[in-house]
Amino acid sequence: MMIFLFSRPILLSLFCAQITAQVENDENNQRLRRLRKKKIENYNLFSNNDQLNLENINHDIRRRAENEFFGSNEKLVLKLAGGFSFPEKANANLNSCGITDIERTQQMKEIINKLSPVSPKNQDNKAQRKALNWILDTDKKFLCPASPSLIQRFAAVTFYFATDGNNWRKIKTFLTSDSECEWSGLVCNIKGVIFKISLDSNNLGGYIPEEIALLKGLRVINMDDNNIGGVIPKGIGTLIELKELDLDSNEILGTIPNEIFNLINLTILDLNGNNFVGKISQKIKNLKKLEFFQIDNNDFTGTLPNALGVYQI
């Protein structure tokens, strides 16, 4: 039989060591509880935000735990912190644009609403709303907010819906995932900018939307022999490169907007066979390059401007 004798100083030392270990363990437990509490509070605070905010919170929790307890021993920190699960990838819910789908929708709406002459927010602007929704939800091209062709594509799609595109006679390719430069009736230059709309005799109806003014590179608009109504949008007057405007044999109403006479490069203005009224403005003299001007079979009144002659209309 073996008997172990411990001196009093040794027993006291062991007892103190146990107390010290217990105190340290209690302190660590308290810190872990504080850590969990901070995580829960932070999570509740940002639970309605996107995945990126949550990832930032998780990263901050990791850093605090590492610094406060065990340095770089991440696995041990996570284990002691109660097994919190952190996303492995910050871009788990990001799309090909590098943002979430919600962010993509919000940013694209903001861009369109700022640049579109007629905001899609207005519920009466059905063509504009349809165009925006098509680009956001249906278009397989999946444009990003920073895509150079966003505005051009939106304008082309709006034009399609505004002129009753579903009833066009010749719809070989339109509203496809291809570039809008490949769509029927649209012609682009080598830079991918639409410079020509050629859709004559195609059963276009509806009206010409203001968004046509977003196609700043337009040089030719040929839409004669259709059923287009409404009025000529004033925004056409901003298409300074426009050389040909052929809208004869339609159902267009109202007067010729004065903005038309800002098109100093215009060589052809063909408006016969519509329902135009009023007088021809003296401002037509601004169109110094005009070579062909046709306005018969309308309801104009008065006399022709001096620049064109003195014949009675």
pLDDT tens, residue by residue, 135-156: 999 999 999 999 999 999 999 9
Check residue 276 and give its pLDDT. Answer: 97
- Three-class secondary structure of residue 291 per DSSP: coil
What is the DSSP code (8-state) at residue 112? Answer: H
pLDDT attached to residue 49: 44
pLDDT at position 266: 97
The Cβ of residue 146 has, within 10 Å, a number of other Cβ atoms equal to: 11
The pLDDT of residue 11: 40
pTM score, two decimals?
A: 0.69
* pLDDT tens digits along 233-247: 999 999 999 999 999
Share of the chain above pLDDT 70, in %: 66
Residue pair 80/69 in contact (Cβ under 8 Å)? The answer is: yes
- For residues 177-186, average pLDDT: 95
For 75-104, what is each residue's pLDDT tens digit? 433 333 344 343 444 556 898 999 999 999
> 1-5, 35-39, 75-79: which has the minimum mean pLDDT?
75-79
DSSP at 257: P
Where is average pLDDT lowest: 71-80, 187-196, 207-216, 277-286? 71-80
- Over 60: is that where the pLDDT of 268 sits? yes
Higher model confidence: residue 18 or residue 97?
A: 97
Digit-coded pLDDT (tens) for 151-179? 999 999 999 999 999 999 877 789 999 99
| Contact present, 242 and 221 (Cβ < 8 Å) | yes
> Which range has the top average pLDDT, 58-62, 116-120, 255-259?
255-259
Please give the mean pLDDT across all residues of the chain. 78
Please, which residues bridge with residue 275 across strands?
253
Q: Quote the pLDDT of residue 168.
A: 93
Q: Beta 186-188 vs 194-198: how paired, if at all? A: antiparallel
Amino acid 305: pLDDT = 83
Q: What is the pLDDT of residue 25?
A: 58
CB 235 within 8 A of CB 117: yes
- Given a contact cutoff of 8 angstroms between Cβ atoms, the answer to whether 245 and 236 are in contact is yes
For residue 74, pLDDT over 60 is answered with no
Does residue 310 surpass a pLDDT of 70?
no
Q: Residue 240's pLDDT is what?
A: 96
Looking at the chain, the whole-number percentage of residues with pLDDT higher than 90 is: 60
